[in-house]
């Protein structure tokens, strides 16, 4: 069937309509180009007015009167200045033009980034959806841009992701949160540390990639007060204090993890747990170098590898013991010394005098792997050296006695109940599972531990505080051949002077002898 041509009237009218639309569009574009500065200024004035209304609403009512008086005074001064109103008008127009400019929108995600976000969205569907939800936010084949309002990529990998989840999700359950965190960690890429911030009130989860902590900070004199010890360094937002550190040829401020000891400390003793080669011995060596600046140190080494040989015979180092007999003698002396300090301070307090000076000098007891001595002592028919730690652990805070214990994960069960209950400051070093970290610190970390962690990398928790990432300053054994010259020199510069003692010259270790007489007990009546 042949197609009939349109009537002449209709064809001519449609052509005129099309021509009229083109003329109107051209006129509108020309008017927009001509009036673009005016449109920009009007848009800027509207934004400035909105900002002024918000500022006025945020101003307290008791300050609105003085604000109005100040504004009126400024208007009067401007009106009296020659060309004042003209200058104000020019300034306002310039500010409106700057405020009303069009912002270039950020480029959207590419196809590969969209596929990655879609994969993360599909993986979260079983966790954030139920069959009874009439309008589910997470559904297979749904819109992922509604669930992910914010995201950022770096070289095609997620570095920031904000997840909106439904209100019925059990975000208060630790296991449910751990499953979601593990899923996001797997889908976003392994080998990096992710931080998860849960907003239970807003039903949002923010995942960010944490930068790696610096491993180039070596042992040095930190700017701290007496009774403060730098365990290591953490993220900038985790603490509210910084200390100057020297890294190579530059000096900058780094956020430290400060552990406070002494009579007013709530965490007077510390427990460090890790795997072999995780850096617990370096942590004890760093603590010893800082403690020798203000106090005395007794070191009991259970590994027997001579990691603390550089401290033998130094000023302030009372003993470095590696045998069962020496460990028992040193810990027995420490227990008697704690009792003596308590009795002396008690007598001075009852007499109305200040505490003696010999009771104010801090005494540090550092034990590296004491469980080894427990096995050797049991085989030799001797008591466990950990039994001698009851007095320093229970009464050490009042006597300025601090106990630091380092143990490995495979033998942490051999620690006595007294050691585990009185060491409220905890440190976990080395690659470990979240369950292992929680078993030591009492709370799981808010980040994902990496498999390949450098020595000294881990987590720290002081009492009931939050779990923080930690990087211990590099404090290697200066007598180790594998130590770099820079780190060896850094540790050597911090060592105290060597005492000119016959034992030190002959190569024998100075041995602490327990007091010959027991201290007299003090009755309740004084």
Helix runs in 449-507, H state only: 485-494, 502-506
**Model confidence at 521: pLDDT above 60:** no
Instruction: Please give the pLDDT value at position 433.
Output: 83
Alpha-carbon distance of 134 to 420, in angstroms, equals 51
What is the chain's alpha carbon radius of gyration, rounded to the nearest angstrom?
A: 35
Residues 401-408: what's their mean pLDDT? 95
Instruction: Please give the pLDDT value at position 423.
Output: 94
Instruction: Please give the pLDDT value at position 297.
Output: 96
Quick one: residue 364, left, alpha or beta (phi over 0 = left, psi -120 to 50 = alpha)? beta
Instruction: Please give the pLDDT value at position 6.
Output: 47
Distance of alpha carbon 122 from the chain centroid = 32
Instruction: Please give the pLDDT value at position 303.
Output: 82
Strand-pairing partners, residue 246, are 251
Cβ atoms of 389 and 331 within 8 Å: the answer is yes
Residues 436-450: what's their mean pLDDT? 86
**Model confidence at 12: pLDDT above 70:** no
- Give kind and range of the element (H or E) at residue 222: none
Residues 271-277: what's their mean pLDDT? 93
Between 209 and 107, residue with greater pLDDT: 209
Give the global pTM: 0.74
Instruction: Please give the pLDDT value at position 502.
Output: 46
β pairing state of 468-471 and 457-462:
antiparallel
**Percent residues over pLDDT 90 in the chain:** 47
**Model confidence at 251: pLDDT above 90:** yes
Instruction: Please give the pLDDT value at position 476.
Output: 93
Cβ atoms of 509 and 321 within 8 Å: the answer is yes
Work out the number of other CB atoms within 10 angstroms of the CB of residue 45: 17
Instruction: Please give the pLDDT value at position 174.
Output: 85
Residues 286-313: what's their mean pLDDT? 92
Instruction: Please give the pLDDT value at position 5.
Output: 53
Q: Name the band, by pLDDT with cuts 50, 70 and 90, for residue 142.
A: confident
Q: Name the band, by pLDDT with cuts 50, 70 and 90, for residue 366.
A: very high
**Model confidence at 161: pLDDT above 90:** yes
Task: Return the axis-axis angle of helices 485-494 and 280-291, rounded to nearest 10°.
Answer: 40
Tell me the C-alpha to C-alpha distance, in Å, between residue 518 and each of 313, 356, 482, 514. Answer: 27, 19, 46, 9
Residues 157-167: what's their mean pLDDT? 91
**Model confidence at 396: pLDDT above 70:** yes
**Model confidence at 517: pLDDT above 50:** no
- Average pLDDT over the chain, rounded to an integer: 85
Work out the number of other CB atoms within 10 angstroms of the CB of residue 106: 6
Q: Name the band, by pLDDT with cuts 50, 70 and 90, for residue 107.
A: low
Instruction: Please give the pLDDT value at position 508.
Output: 41
Residues 241-249: what's their mean pLDDT? 91
**Model confidence at 109: pLDDT above 80:** no
Tell me the three-class secondary structure of 131-148, residue by residue. CCCCCCCCCCCCCHHHHC
Q: Report helix, strand or coil for 207.
A: strand
Least-confidence region, from 124-133, 185-194, 301-310: 185-194
> What would the pLDDT profile of 203-239 be if each residue is shown by its tens digit?
999 999 888 899 999 999 999 999 999 999 999 888 9
Least-confidence region, from 83-92, 267-276, 334-343, 416-425: 83-92
Residues 410-416: what's their mean pLDDT? 90
Instruction: Please give the pLDDT value at position 134.
Output: 87
Alpha-carbon distance of 499 to 292, in angstroms, equals 14
Instruction: Please give the pLDDT value at position 507.
Output: 39
Residues 361-385: what's their mean pLDDT? 89
Q: Name the band, by pLDDT with cuts 50, 70 and 90, for residue 310.
A: very high
């Amino acid at each position: 069937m042949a197609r009939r041509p349109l009537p002449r009237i209709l064809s001519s009218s449609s052509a005129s309509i099309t021509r009229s639309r083109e003329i109107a569009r051209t006129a509108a574009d020309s008017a927009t180009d001509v009036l673009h500065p005016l449109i920009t200024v009007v848009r800027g004035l509207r934004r400035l007015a909105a900002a002024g209304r918000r500022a006025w609403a945020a101003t307290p009512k008791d300050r609105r009167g003085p604000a109005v008086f100040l504004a009126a005074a400024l208007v009067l001064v401007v009106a009296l200045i020659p060309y004042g109103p003209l200058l104000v008008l020019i300034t306002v127009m310039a500010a409106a033009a700057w405020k009303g400019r069009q912002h270039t929108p950020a480029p959207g995600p590419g196809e590969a980034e969209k596929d990655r976000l879609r994969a993360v969205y599909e993986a979260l569907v079983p966790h954030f959806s139920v069959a009874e939800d009439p309008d589910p936010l997470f559904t297979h084949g749904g819109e992922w841009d509604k669930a992910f309002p914010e995201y950022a990529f770096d070289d095609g990998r997620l570095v920031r992701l904000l997840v909106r989840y439904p209100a019925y999700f059990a975000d208060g359950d630790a296991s449910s949160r751990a499953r979601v965190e593990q899923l996001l960690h797997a889908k976003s890429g392994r080998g990096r540390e992710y931080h998860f911030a849960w907003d239970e009130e807003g039903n949002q989860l923010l995942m960010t990639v944490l930068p790696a902590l610096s491993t180039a900070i070596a042992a040095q004199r930190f700017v701290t007060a007496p009774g403060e010890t730098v365990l290591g360094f953490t993220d900038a937002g985790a603490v509210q204090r910084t200390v100057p550190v020297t890294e190579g040829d530059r000096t900058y401020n780094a956020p430290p993890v400060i552990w406070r000891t002494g009579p007013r400390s709530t965490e007077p003793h510390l427990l460090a747990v890790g795997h072999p080669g995780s850096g617990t011995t370096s942590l004890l060596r760093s603590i010893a170098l800082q403690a020798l600046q203000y106090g005395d140190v007794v070191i009991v080494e259970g590994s027997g590898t001579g990691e603390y040989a550089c401290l033998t015979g130094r000023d302030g180092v009372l003993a470095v013991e590696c045998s069962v007999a020496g460990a028992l003698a040193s810990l027995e002396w420490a227990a008697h010394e704690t009792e003596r300090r308590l009795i002396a301070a008690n007598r001075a307090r009852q007499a109305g005098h200040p505490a003696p000076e010999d009771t104010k000098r801090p005494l540090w007891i550092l034990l590296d792997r004491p469980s080894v001595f427990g096995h050797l002592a049991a085989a030799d028919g001797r008591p466990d050296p950990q039994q001698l730690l009851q007095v320093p652990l229970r009464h050490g805070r009042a006597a300025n006695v601090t106990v630091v214990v380092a143990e490995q994960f495979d033998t942490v069960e051999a620690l006595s109940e007294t050691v585990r209950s009185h060491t409220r400051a905890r440190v976990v070093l080395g690659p470990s599972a979240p369950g292992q970290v929680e078993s030591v610190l009492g709370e799981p970390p808010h980040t994902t531990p990496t498999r390949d962690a450098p020595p000294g990398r881990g987590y720290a928790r002081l009492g009931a505080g939050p779990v923080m990432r930690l990087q211990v300053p590099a404090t290697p054994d200066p007598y180790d051949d594998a130590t770099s010259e820079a780190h060896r020199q850094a540790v050597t510069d911090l060592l105290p002077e060597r005492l000119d003692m016959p034992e030190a010259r002959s190569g024998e270790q100075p041995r602490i002898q327990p007091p010959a007489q027991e201290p007299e007990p003090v009755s309740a009546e004084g």
